[in-house]
A and B are shown apart, each in its own frame.
Chain A
């Protein structure tokens, strides 16, 4: 069964450093998402992406964050200058359509720790 994959599974970085989290969505999916889960808190929507453009972003997704689809398979989340509060589990998801009935399939997550 097709699945969303993410790399790395864990990332430790120093405050102020740039990190890039990578995702390979399911191959025939057109809509891509990033969510994050701070330890012990809710899973929160960050951004949705379609046709090489951001469709919607949350208040969390400020100028320090960017997303890109650099080729036909990868979807990346970049944090330009990490802060301590960026420590979280980051989930990538993808779906075939943007319908509310459509299932979003999630990857296993990247656990980011900012020191």
Chain B
């Protein structure tokens, strides 16, 4: 079946550190891939997405590249800020009878000043 696996947290980094959160997926066909972010006390917000192989999604300094050969969509940021502290969810959308998003388990990121 379709699934998403992401690195377990929590991840704690110092401000200005480089961030990578690994995500791999299993899906038949051609899913779209997403990163959603959940800030403390808030709902899910789309961070970025990529809809076909080799696409790069980017937003707010975050990037992720859709790698079909390795079935991966790792999230990266060159220099994190305290305000990036949140839970990050990797997800895919694979049409079956209707569109539905399948989420990974989430990675909690904490940034120290």
Contacts and interface: CB of A to CB of B under 8 A. Distances in A.
Nearest to B94: A100
Contacts of B102: 45
Given A42-B106, A55-B97, A105 B46 contact: yes
Interface string A39-54: 0011111001010000
17 contacts: A31-B98, A33-B100, A44-B103, A48-B98, A48-B99, A50-B98, A91-B44, A93-B101, A99-B99, A100-B31, A100-B94, A101-B51, A102-B93, A106-B36, A106-B44, A107-B43, A109-B43
Contacts of B81: none
Interface residues of A, number: 28
A41 B43 CA distance: 15
Interface of B: 30-32, 34, 36, 42-46, 49, 51, 89, 93-106
A43 B105 CA distance: 7
Contact of B99 (A43, A98, A106): A98
A87 interface: no
A104 interface: yes
